[in-house]
Structure 1
Amino acid sequence: REKGNLPVLEISSCEDERQREKRRIDDREEEQEKYEHLVSAELADLSKYRVEIHGHLRPAWSKAADIVSTYRRSISQVDDHLTGSGDRLRKAGSVSAVDRLPTVGARERFDRVKDRQLREYSDSPPGLILS
């Protein structure tokens, strides 16, 4: 039989669908690892400094920890909004919002908050010293 110019239809099997889903999951995990690496690199940079607050030296990474917790809170809120049952699932221990790859909107919000906090941090009065 000759096919001529007829389009060839591909029928995807369950196996193909499983492979695509596995690739999507792998891609999400890879993206999350890259993003976590960027955040931890920024924290490593901040940990070189100390800031004086009320006469006491406070490690700069404690400020960075505030930034990361803000990020995690925003991801958790997005996750709860998207699933509508985030709390119930999290209580059952089957879902951790922090482990999920953030959506683009949540990532942009986190970047804005992080940039603002870092700006406020860098604009703070003298007392920033190299340790």
Structure 2
Amino acid sequence: MDLELEGKNAIVTGGSKGIGKAIAKELAKEGVNIVIAARNKDLLDATAKELSKETNQRIIPVICDTGNSEAVTKMVNIAIENLNSIDILVNCAARPLVKVLNHFHLKHRMTIFGMI
């Protein structure tokens, strides 16, 4: 199916594995140039190489922790420098929930019991 995406440019966060990688692959098959972003450099580089080889599309790996606003700004700037524009954004990045929940429980205890 032709989605008329050929020549478009995308950023896919969480693009080194799982759903993000699958979406990046399908976009690349449609002719989209992609910046894939993730935290694990080795996995990111391997995925970029694999997708580029399979699809003959430009796949640019960018290390980025989407929990860090400076890193996100840098990722966007790299995408614009390399692709000239961004037409599509897919956010599949995830953060470990354990840290968030631990922090939540601490705040909850402080709210209920005060500082101990």
Fold-level similarity (TM above 0.5): no
**Which structure: greater strand fraction?**
2
Where on the TM-score scale, by shorter chain, does this alignment land: which range?
Answer: under 0.3
Structure number with larger C-alpha Rg: 1
Greater share of helix: 1
TM-score, length-normalised on structure 2?
A: 0.25
